[in-house]
Structure 1
Amino acid sequence: MLNSVIVIDDEASIRTAVEQWLSLSGFNVQLFARAEDCLSQLPKHFPGVIISDVRMPGMGGLQLLERLQADDPDLPVILLTGHGDVPMAVEAMRNGAYDFLEKPFTPQHLLGSLRRALEKRQLVLENRRLHEQADLKSRLEGTLLGMSQGLQLLRRQVLDLASLPVNVLIRGETGSGKERVARCLHDFGPRAAKPFVALNCAAIPEALFEAELFGHESGAFTGAQGKRVGKLEYANGGTVFLDEIESMPLAQQAKLLRVIQEQKLERLGANQSINVDLRIIAATKPDLLEEARAGRFREDLAYRLNVAELRLAPLRERREDIPLLFDHFARAAADRLGRAAPPLSGAQLAQLLAHDWPGNVRELANAAERHALGLGSPGTAVAPAGQSLSEQMEAFEAQCLRAALRQHGGAISAVMEALQLPRRTLNEKMQRHGLSRDDFTGR
C-alpha cells in the first residue's frame, strides 16, 4: 500500500499539525512551505498524494493543480480551503482536484480522504505498470524473434533482468545473437538513455588492451599523445558489453575485477581514480569456470561476471523458429532493394529445417539475403545435415500448426477447419509441440 504524502502550506502550524496526524497513522510525510519548491523536487510518477493549501504567497494551490495536471492528470491533489474559498474549490474539483477540505478539518476527515486518494493512486500506478510491461513485451517480441519455448523463456528472462542492477553472462555459440540480447538488456532497462559500449575482446591486440579499456594520460607510453578516455569511462552510467570475454588477457582481468568491485578506474599514467557506474554484460562460448580450472581465466572474475546467466540455444535446437527468422531477414533484404521477397516452396522450407546451421542466426540471415537477392534459393544455399525424416516432419508440423494459429488468432475452430483436423488430434499435436492458443490470441 502506498503511504507517501506531500503537504504544502505556508502556515507552519498547519504543516506541523498535519505532519503529526499523518506520521502517527503510518504515512511518510514531506513538507513544503511553497508550491514552487515542491514542483522543483517532485519525482516523475510520484507514488502518493499531494495536499495543498489554496491561498499561498507566490504560486497558489489552483496554479499548482494546473501544473500538476499538465504533467500527470491522475495524480490526486487534495486542496485545503478557507470558508470563502469553497466555491472555488468545487470548481477546482471539476478541473481535476481529487477532494477539498474546509479549514478547520478533523484528523478523521483528512485521513478518510487521503486513504481513498492513495487507493486510487495505487490502482493508477499498477495499471500503468501493466501497460508498460505489455508494451515492453511487444517491443521485445519484435526484437528477439521466435516462438519456440526457448525463445519465449529467453524473452521473459531478459525482461526480468533488464531492470535489475546485476552483471549478466551470456553463453552461446558464434552467431547465436549474443550482442542483440545484450543490447536488449540495456535498451529495456533504466540505463537505456546512457551509452552502450560493445567490445570484442578477441579483436583487441594485447598491447593495446589496457589503453582501450581504461584510457591513458598524455605521455603514458610511447605514442600516447594527449589524454584519451577509455571505453569503460566513456560508458559511465550505461552498459559495457564484453564479447568473447575468455580472450581477455589475465593482467587486464585483474584490473577489470577491481573496477567491478570498487566502481573506480585509473587511466594509464594517472594517479587519480575516477568513479564509474557500469553494468557489465559479458559473452562467452566456453564455460568460464572450466577456463579458470585450466588457468586461462580468473575464477573470482568469472563469479563476478556470472551473477545471472543467459544461455542462447543454437538454431538447430529451435528449428521451429527458422521459418519466421528466414522470412524476417528475407523481407528486410528485399525492402532494402525495393523488391518483393521470393516465396518459399515446401521443398525449400524442408531443406531449411533439415540444415544444422553451424553459423546459427548469422548464417541464416546470410542465406535469407541471398534468397532475396536471387543469388540462390535456400535449397541450393544450404544442405541437409543428418536430420532424420521423422525429425524433419516433426519440425515442419510444428511450423504448420504455429502458422495456422497465428493466422486465425488462436481460434481453435478456424484452425481445425484450415488444417482439416479433428479437435482431439489438434489438441494432442499442440500439446506435443508445446503450443497454447493463448500465445496467439493477442491477450
Structure 2
Amino acid sequence: MDNTSEVVSAARHPIAVTRRTMLMAGAGLAVMAGFSRAGAQDVSGEIVLLNWFGGSDFDQIQQLQKAFVAAHTGVTFKNVTLTGTGDQRGAIRTALLGGQAADLLINAWPAFRKELASAGLLRDLGSLWDDAKLGENLADIWKAQGSSDGVLYGITHTYGDRSALYYSKAVFAKAGVAEPTTWEEFLATFPKLRAINVTPIALGAKVWSHGEFFETLLLRTAGTEATAKLAAHGISWTDPVVKATFLKWRELIEAGAFGDISVALASDDGMMTDNVLKLGTYGSHLIGPWTNGYAKSTLHLNEGIDYSIYQFPALGEGHDDTSSIDAIEYVALSSGANPTAADAFLAWLTTADAANIIAKAGKASPSNKVDTALYGPVLKIAVENVAKSKLQFVLGDLLPGDLVDEYRVQLQKFLLDPSDAGIDAVMAAIEAKAATAY
C-alpha cells in the first residue's frame, strides 16, 4: 500500500472562529463532481485524509485504507495527522484556516459538522447516497445522523454505546461484587471495592470525560426529549431537570464514588482506562466504545474474559430505557482535489468488506452487511444495549464550541463544590454562555 503520512501541529484548545471568518476561508473552494457507480472501479489518484486519531483507532483506519487500495490499485492515501490532546475541534479549525486542503475529514461532532457546512467547507453527499444506493447498506437513521439542516454531509462508519461502564472481571471477583443493575446496587458496590483498596468509579475530569456522568444521568433523569431540547437551548440550563441531574451526581460524590477529586481533575480518560483495566486501582469507568479496541490491541486483554461492560444502572425515574450514543463519520471537504475517489471510498465504507474490518477491530458498524458473528462478547453487549434503547447523541458533541468549553469547565467547578449554591452558580454560568452561543 502506497500510504504516506504527515503530522501537523495545531493548537491544543479550540480557538474562536466567527462564521464570517470561516466563510472567508471557504471562499473560492469549488464543489466537486459527485460519485459515479460506473466509474467506481476506475478511481485513481491520491486521497488526502485530515486525521486526528492515533493508536489502535488509527491502525483500524489504515486497515480500511489498505483494503480499499487492494481493490482500487490506482489509489493512494495521504494521512495528514493533527497533533494535540482533548477536544480536537480547535486543532481542525487551525489546520483548515491555515489552508490545509484535504478530501476527507473524520468527524465526531454534529455541532462541528454544522459549523463547517455553514462555512461552505463541506460537500453535499446527497447525490452520493442516491447514486451509490447507500440506502441498501445503511438504514435511514444513519442518513439522518449524518445530516445538518436536512443536507447529508457525513457517512457514519462506526457508532457506540456511551452509557456503558467498563470493568475488570478480576477486580469485581476479588471484591465479591456483581454487575449492578439498579442505583441501590450500584452504591452498594462502593464499600466492597474500597475494602480491597479500589476506588469505586474512575472519573477523568482533566479535559472532557467527566461530562459522561452528567449526560447519562440527565438522560435517565429527564429523558431524550429534554436532553435534545437542552442541547438546542430549547430549555434553560437553569431548568429543574438540570438541577435534579446535578443532585443525583452529588449522591455519587457524597458516597465517595470518585475518591480524591483532585486526582480526578488531574487525570484524563486514557489514564483512567488504564487504572481500571490495566492496574485495577479503580472499579468501573463510564467511557466510550473505543475502549474496547484499546483494551484488545494495546492492553492485550481478552474481551469478555479479562473485562466486560454493564449498562448504567436504573434510576427508577421512568427513563431507564435511554442510552447515550456517539458516531464517527467521514465528511468530504470542499478543498479536496480528488472527490471522485473520495466518494468511492465513502461508498465502500458501507459494504461488507469494510464493515467486517470494523467489526474485527472491536467496533460496531452501522452497515446492515456486517457479519455480526465477528463481534466479540463485549461489543455484542453494547450493540444489544443500543438496539433496545431510546437513543440520544452524546450531549457534549451537540453543543457549539464555545459553549462546550464553558460546560466542561463548569462541571469541573461542580466537582469541587457540589453544594446547592455551587450547583446554582454552575447552571447560571453555563446558561449565560448558552445565551450567546446559538
Task: Please say whether Structure 1 and Structure 2 have the same fold, judged by a TM-score greater than 0.5.
Answer: no
Q: Give the TM-score normalised by structure 2.
A: 0.21
TM-score (norm. length: structure 1): 0.21
